[in-house]
Structure 1
Amino acid sequence: MTTTSVRFREGAGRLCLDFIRTLRYRGTPTASEELPDGPALAAWVRQCGPCSLDGVADSTQAARARELREAVHALVIAAVRTGDPTACGDDARQHLNRAAAEPVPVPVLDASGEIRWRADDPVTATLALIARDALDLVTSPAVTRVRECAGPRCGALFLDGSRPGTRRWCSMGTCGNRAKKTTQRARRRGSETEV
């Protein structure tokens, strides 16, 4: 599979949380980098960002994107675990502030009456949106709804939009389903040993 054909995971509830997921299975032995190069970053921007992107990103932009992703992760984890987003450290905070200061995409009304988003540099503009989204998230009441997936092999963060605020899985279709199957197998084994 080429890096440009990857289907990136979305649905974490915020753009910055979807971006963090590009290091799949974070903190596990099977961690997998989804942004190894410029073409992969361009594919992510095309799929998840608001702007169209005709060209490709380069390796420098991919390295900047991975650095930003780690700064966003540090910021969100600090806010969730300690209640203090500045506990992420000065380097991460300054990195996020610099990225957020870049120009963001602007809306343009096209001839058909549709809104299109435009930026001179769609990759940098999308990264600026991610940084701004992360800063907004950790300084808003929504940060109390950010959860770490209970899947032992997952490592994803997500925004819990459930009414009671007790969601445990980043996705019921993947991690939640695995947990249900594991529980069912354990019950079956337990009932077999009782016989």
Structure 2
Amino acid sequence: MRRLASYSFVLVSLLIGISILSTVTPAQTDWRQILIPPLHSFQPKQPKRIQLPNGMVIFLQEDRELPLIDGTARVRGGSREEPASKVGLINIYGEVWRTGGTKTQTGDQLDDFLEIRAAKVETSGGVDSTTIGWSCLKADFDDVFKIIADLLHQPEFREDKIEIAKEGEYDNISRRNDDIGGIASREAVKLA
């Protein structure tokens, strides 16, 4: 009997709770009456444009939030100019430009040098340009920039690194039609 009474009490409590909740309706507010707080003002800094006597253009943007110096240099020339018989050449070039090192240091020596300083230097080939980019602490900038200058003026395309990059590119070429987005991008570039 006690058990039946406790079940009855729970059942009645649930029914009362459900009936109370079903009678409460949330206040409907028209979306046009919702107050939207104003956005904080945003004033982006404009980069400083510097043109060197040799025609190179530098865009300098200062950001003092962290003691880092990041940079990117773009050189005209990319996969758009590579012949059909040499598909993937710019990708191999972009990879080996960094991994091959310079005339004075191998790519592995550069890896060790940069790793100790928590810096990075990366190169890549694109559709219309090749790129070298870097990120380093402000204190290490002079040393890292010497590597950038060395890679720009005296890159060394070592044969072993070229072979590694070729193997990777053969794999990329064999799989490039696996992604329909990649097909569409390549065809769109041809049309432009």
Normalising by the residue count of structure 2, what TM-score does the alignment of the two structures yield?
A: 0.24
Normalising by the residue count of structure 1, what TM-score does the alignment of the two structures yield?
A: 0.24
Structure number having the greater strand percentage: 2
